[in-house]
Amino acid sequence: MMNIILIGPPGAGKGTQAKRLVSERGFVQLSTGDMLREAKSSGTEMGQRVAEVMARGELVTDEIVIGLIAEKLDSVAGADVIFDGFPRTLAQADALGALLQARGTQIAHVIEMAVDDEALVARITGRFSCASCGEVYHDVTRQPKVKGRCDICGGTEFLRRADDSEDSLRVRLMSYYKQTSPLLGYYHAKGLLRSLDGMGEMDAVASGISAILDS
């Protein structure tokens, strides 16, 4: 049983690499961004509040995301887990440590994906995903093999995220540098941090992650 965290700014490629690890190595992906987008479409008052915060590019409260993760952890007991986009604050990191410890497990690696801000803008503004299965594509770097048809499920409808505007991205980047980047020091001090260059092509980044997992 192996738990890993993918950490990096918006658009670094966390979701892309997490999905590869799910299909190639059987990991379970826990993405708080995906969970919050589900809550958003639930039509509840909480969902509405979450939608507004996410559209602005700010972080949702620790209480909400820790609650979501705590709930999911029980349903994935025994699996290899990738935490994608969680934790994002020191309070979330402490909470995750305690939740894992209570379940007799721990974090094996925290993988930092470092990408320049300019490349992030290009990645985020070109991103789109399959409306049926969520597979992520890019206008320039990853088009479906058959134009207009999802490689995975054959879906023909695609979506762009409401928070993928340049304005929202600026706030998301600021949230990353102010609230999330302190986690790099936190995990470095625990001897868990592995940093890799996220600027390479998707296959090169995937090889870098594999090398860490096999080390």
Using CB under 6 A as the criterion, which residues of the chain lie in contact with ligand AP5 when the complex forms?
8, 10-16, 32-33, 36, 53-54, 57-60, 65, 85-86, 88, 92, 123, 126-127, 136-138, 141-142, 163, 172, 201-202, 205
Nearer to ligand AP5, 104 or 113 (CB): 113
Q: How far is the CB of 99 from ligand AP5 (least distance, A)?
A: 13
Q: How far is the CB of 43 from ligand AP5 (least distance, A)?
A: 18
Distance in angstroms (rounded) separating the CA atoms of residues 133 and 123: 20
Q: How far is the CB of 8 from ligand AP5 (least distance, A)?
A: 6
Q: Which residue is nearest to ligand AP5 (CB)?
A: 33
Two structure tokens written together for 95: 């909470």
CB-based contacts of 48, cutoff 8 Å, min separation 6: 40
Nearer to ligand AP5, 193 or 205 (CB): 205
Nearer to ligand AP5, 85 or 155 (CB): 85
Q: Are 59 and 88 in contact (CB under 8 A)?
A: yes
Concatenated DSSP letters for 115-151? --HHHHHHHHHTEEEETTT--EEETTTB--SBTTB-T
Q: How far is the CB of 143 from ligand AP5 (least distance, A)?
A: 10
Q: Catalytic residue positions?
A: 14, 88, 127, 161, 172
Two structure tokens written together for 31: 């993405």
Distance in angstroms (rounded) separating the CA atoms of residues 9 and 7: 7
Maximum pairwise Cα distance, the chain: 47
Give CA separation, 66 vs 78, 114, 144, 175, in Å. Answer: 20, 25, 35, 18
Nearer to ligand AP5, 135 or 193 (CB): 135
Pairing of the two strands 158-159 and 107-114: unpaired
Nearer to ligand AP5, 58 or 80 (CB): 58
Q: How far is the CB of 12 from ligand AP5 (least distance, A)?
A: 4
Q: How many residues are listed for the chain in this entry?
A: 215
**Residue whose entry in the numeric block shows the structure tokens 């001090």:** 189
